[in-house]
Amino acid sequence: MTAQPAASKMTLPELAAMRARGDRIVMVTAYDAPSGRLADDAGVDIVLVGDSAGTTVLGGTSTVPVTLDEMLVFTRGVVRGVSHALVIADMPFGSYQVSDAAALEHAIRLVKEGGADGVKLEGAGATLTRIAAIVDAGIPVMGHIGLTPQSATLLGGYRAQGRTADAARRLIDDARALERAGAFAIVLEAIPAIVAERVTAEIGVPTIGIGAGASCCGQVLVWHDLLGLTRGSTPRFVKRYADLDGVIAGALDAFVQDVRGGTFPGPDHTYGMPDTEREKLDDAKVER
Ligand code: KIV
């Protein structure tokens, strides 16, 4: 069998070319090396180390408490599992709000210590100069508008955005401003499909939708939602492709039964000892 050449690393020009060709871009979140490897093996183009880790992995109710140090741990794990996809790390709340200088310093840590290929920041407005400063330093930046979970309280909760003509126009203006600031792609979260279509038509960089309809240049889902690891209700834009919660619960239940019933470990899971050594062990017992 001949060795397969390693798939080449995804690049920003290739993402731009995908948009130009009309090839849909696939992005998924991941938070550790195994999930990064599985996403990469499936051929996704971008792996997002989302600050959604604050809810999916750390069990919180919001992404706001996630720290830069936590994001660095998740990012290092994902990077070790990925060889083809672009790895983008979310900048957590508080890591880019204070100043352009602080934003740049923290973006550099995610790239230098975490190994990310680029970073993602939420919002426009004050975020625009942060993005420009980070891009100026040579770090790719992905934008994120619509429902921006770090400012969910200000937005009135986890609800769809851009549902009035004025709000839709503001989103289009924000997307244009993000492109001017240097964002290489923009996540559109929880906005009407028609608004996402307009935004996509008005800018030149790829749009990646989550709850933003089919006209975006790509789609992203959160790992735990996609695989059925999320309990309780999920947003309407989530499609579950598996029920891993059920699969894992079944496996753990079988393990508990095996241990309690004495059927695990069996001979196949147990180390033996050469007969000669076993005899010496028995002799030693007699001598004592
Ligand atoms: O943190 C995250 O998972 C995200 C996606 C929802 C785009 O920002």
For the chain, the structural domain boundaries read 12-242, 247-287
Dihedral sign, CA of 125, 129, 131, 132?
Answer: positive
CATH architecture of 12-242: Alpha-Beta Barrel (3.20)
Using 50, 70 and 90 to split pLDDT, how confident is the model at 1?
A: very low
Count other Cβ atoms within 10 Å, centred on residue 106.
21
Q: Is the Cβ atom of 90 under 6 angstroms away from ligand 1?
A: yes
Ligand 1 touching residue 230 (CB < 6 A): no
* Cα–Cα dist 89/67, whole Å: 12
In this structure, what token pair is assigned to residue 176? 């244009």
pLDDT tens digits, 256-287:
999 999 999 999 999 999 999 999 998 876 55
CA of 257 to the centre of ligand 1 (A): 38
- CA dist 208 and 40 (Å) reads 18
What is the tens place of the pLDDT at every residue in 90-101?
Answer: 999 999 999 999
**Residue 197 in contact with ligand 1 by CB distance below 6 A:** no
Query: 151-180: per-residue pLDDT in tens?
Result: 998 898 899 999 999 999 999 999 999 999
> 39-83: per-residue pLDDT in tens?
999 999 999 999 999 999 999 999 999 999 999 999 999 999 999
Tell me the C-alpha distance between 102 and 134, whole Å: 10
Q: Establish whether 277 is a catalytic residue.
A: no
Residues in the chain: 288
Question: Pseudo-torsion of CA 101, 106, 111, 116, nearest 10°?
Answer: -130
What is the whole-number distance in angstroms between the Cα of residue 49 and the centre of ligand 1?
8
